Amino acid sequence: MIGRYRVRVARRLALTAGVLVVALAGVIATAPSTSAAPRLHGALLYVANDNGSITAYQIGTWRRVARWTGLPIRNGVRGVAYRKGFLYITHGGDGAGGAGGLLKWNVRTARTVYNHNYTFGVDQPAVCRSGGIVRVYVPVGELSPSNTWKVIRARTGRVIGAIAGGKGPHNTICRRGEVLMGGRRAHYLMQTHGPRVGPTPSASPGVRPFVVNHGFTRAYITWTDFRGFSVGNLRTGRIIATRSFGRVPAGFQPSAPSHGITLSPGGRRVYVLDAPNRQVRVYTAGRAPRHLATIRIHHGLRGNESPCAYDCMRDGWLLTSLQGSYVFVGDSGDVIRTRTRRVVGFLPALENSRHGFLEIVWRGGVPVASTGHFGNGR
């Protein structure tokens, strides 16, 4: 029965149920827009789309087991982060297309905890505990001229500080207060507790999707206008290896042809997107990456996402499942089995999402683990 469970709530129904929406000082406090979550179990891939929906797929069977609608994120999902039962969704402008917001969603109750609108743009966030407080680090947008990441208290959604990173704040990874910051117009990956890492091997500035190993000693980085990736030493700041897939074909529109990178949980394999060829390339991880295989992608990675509110081009994104059995290809919908290196599934919602998906594992009706949105080593 759970495989046929669907949760759909329109705004009009929510209002008739007595939902109260209070707007005060730029903050929208939204009461529940969905009913209670179904009793979920096992590993699920959650996908957020620009039409205000979240879809959950059972990993392994690829059945859609739940779908929630009516979330106030119609202005475009910019990123997701997860911690201990709560999903944090940034949405809206990325520094040029207006201001953005942060929505906190309780995955156990399927209720919106808060939805704050800010005066700045937003992008791919990260959430972790630091100094006794759970903080959400929100970059103010890849098209912003600044280098600022806002520090937001996760419990309330209030801004409590700011830190400096790369210009054009875009992607974020954090762990116990250590923050890695990728700027859309930066030559280096920036750290709060270490040297800057780089420079880019590309003629154009721009740190694009990146991941880190479990020990937080190495970063695997993709770049603007560069097919391939680099390995950076987080302790010295040096680039210790770069692998190029060749020139970017003339006429290829996305500015990052390898806009997707993920590590296997044990950190032994790195998977990198080659979007112009609609391929995922598999390498050994470490100081001297060695090419192992190339996997053909069947769907997506062309045209625009639909539904889409903003920033619609299918650039791509990669994420390894928590157990390492699968790689999910954002903006494609394809699912790769890592043992056979073959596409074994297709998820329609994932074909139209690169900013908003991650895995959550349930046991006994309780969420117990998550990958997060970045495919880091674990």
Residue 62 lies in a domain: yes
Model confidence at 25: pLDDT above 50: no
Residue 8 lies in a domain: yes
Residue 91 lies in a domain: yes
pLDDT at 31: 31
Residue 295: strand pairing partners: 280
Amino acid identity at 250? A
pLDDT tens profile 12-23 = 333 333 332 222
pLDDT tens profile 232-281 = 999 999 999 999 999 999 999 999 999 999 999 999 999 999 999 999 99
Say how far apart CA 80 and CA 247 lie, in whole Å: 31
- Total number of domains constituting the chain: 1
Sign of the Cα pseudo-torsion (161, 163, 169, 172, in order): negative
Model confidence at 186: pLDDT above 90: yes
Say how far apart CA 17 and CA 323 lie, in whole Å: 41
pLDDT tens profile 135-172 = 999 999 999 999 999 999 999 999 999 999 999 999 99
pLDDT tens profile 91-104 = 999 998 689 999 99
Residue 378 lies in a domain: no
CATH of the domain at 134: 2.130.10.10
Residue 180 lies in a domain: yes
Mean pLDDT of 38-59: 95
Residue 376 lies in a domain: no
DSSP string, 153-176: ETTT--EEEEEE-SSSEEEEEEET
Residue 260 lies in a domain: yes
pLDDT at 377: 95
Residues spanned by the domain of 58 = 2-370
| CB distance 272 to 221 below 8 Å | no
* pTM over the 0.85 mark: yes
Residue 130 lies in a domain: yes
Task: Please choose, from the candidates 47, 45, 40, the residue with its C-alpha nearest in 3D space to the C-alpha of residue 57.
Answer: 45
pLDDT tens profile 70-93 = 999 989 999 999 999 999 999 999
pLDDT at 96: 81
- 215 class by beta-carbon count within 10 Å (0-12 exposed, 13-18 middle, 19+ buried): exposed
